Amino acid sequence: MTVVADMLMVLCGGTVGTLLGRLYYNSGGKSKWVATLMQSGGSPLLVIPLLLTPPHPAEERQPAASMVAAVYVGIGVLLGFDNLMYAYALLYLPVSTFSLVAATQLGFNAITSRLINAQRFTALIANSVVVLTFAAALLSIGSSSDETSSDVPRGKYALGFVLTLAASASFAVILSLFEVAFEKVVRARTMRWVLKVQMFTNLVATAVGVVGLFASGEWRTLPGEMAAFKNGRARYVLTLVGTAVCWQAAAVGTVRLVARVSSLFANVTGTVALPLVPVFAVVLFGDRMTGIKAVAMLMAVWGFLSYVYQHYLDGRRVASGKGTECCVVCAARTAGDTA
In a domain, 332, yes or no: no
- Are 103 and 166 spatial neighbours (Cβ–Cβ below 8 Å)? no
Which domain, by its residues, includes 45? Answer: 3-55+62-305
What is the predicted pLDDT for the residue at 128? 74
The answer for residues whose C-beta is within 8 angstroms of residue 107's C-beta and 6 or more apart is 128, 129, 132, 133, 303
By CB atoms closer than 10 A (0-12, 13-18, 19+), residue 293 is buried
Each residue's pLDDT expressed in tens, for the chain with a length of 339 residues: 677 888 889 888 988 998 999 899 989 898 999 999 999 999 999 999 889 888 877 777 888 999 999 999 999 999 999 999 999 998 888 887 887 788 778 778 878 878 887 777 778 777 877 777 777 667 666 555 555 454 566 678 889 889 999 999 999 899 899 989 988 998 888 888 888 999 999 999 999 999 999 999 999 999 999 999 987 899 999 999 999 999 999 988 888 888 877 777 777 777 766 667 777 777 777 777 777 777 877 887 787 788 778 777 877 887 776 544 444 344 434 444 443
- What b-and-e string marks burial along 92-130, b requiring 16 or more CB atoms within 10 Å of the CB? bbbbbbbbbbbbbbbbbbbbbbeebbebeebebbebbbe
What is the predicted pLDDT for the residue at 7? 83
In this structure, the number of other CB atoms found within 10 A of the CB of residue 158 comes to 12
- Are 306 and 128 spatial neighbours (Cβ–Cβ below 8 Å)? yes
In a domain, 310, yes or no: no
In this structure, the number of other CB atoms found within 10 A of the CB of residue 65 comes to 8
Distance, in Å, from the CA atom of 272 to the CA atom of 250, rounded to the nearest integer, reads 13
In a domain, 153, yes or no: yes
Distance, in Å, from the CA atom of 295 to the CA atom of 138, rounded to the nearest integer, reads 9
What is the predicted pLDDT for the residue at 334? 43
- What b-and-e string marks burial along 174-186, b requiring 16 or more CB atoms within 10 Å of the CB? bbbbbbbbbbeeb
What is the predicted pLDDT for the residue at 145? 53
The pTM of this model reads 0.81
In a domain, 70, yes or no: yes
In a domain, 333, yes or no: no
What is the predicted pLDDT for the residue at 330? 44
CA–CA distances in Å: residue 309 to residues 76, 302, 303: 33, 10, 10
In a domain, 298, yes or no: yes
The number of domains in the chain is: 1
In this structure, the number of other CB atoms found within 10 A of the CB of residue 286 comes to 12
Distance, in Å, from the CA atom of 140 to the CA atom of 93, rounded to the nearest integer, reads 11
- Are 285 and 95 spatial neighbours (Cβ–Cβ below 8 Å)? yes
In a domain, 330, yes or no: no
